[in-house]
Amino acid sequence: MAFDERSQQPRDDALADLTERLPQALLDAQWYGAEEGQLCDGRKAITEVMSRNLAGRVRGRIEETIQDGSRVIVAFRPEQPGQLDRPVDDGIAYVVVTIRDGHIIELKGCADRAMALAYVQADGQP
> Which class for 109: exposed (0-12), middle (13-18), buried (19 or more C-beta within 10 A)?
buried
pLDDT tens column, 28-38: 777 777 777 77
Residues of the chain short of pLDDT 70, as ranges, are 1-27, 53-57, 123-126
Cα 47 from chain centroid (whole Å)? 12
pLDDT confidence of residue 2: 40
pLDDT confidence of residue 9: 46
Q: What are phi and psi of 71, to 5 degrees?
A: -115, 145
In angstroms, the CA 23 to CA 20 distance is: 7
Q: Please name each of the domains of the chain with its CATH number.
A: 14-121 (3.10.450.50)
To the question of pTM greater than 0.75 for the whole model, the response is no
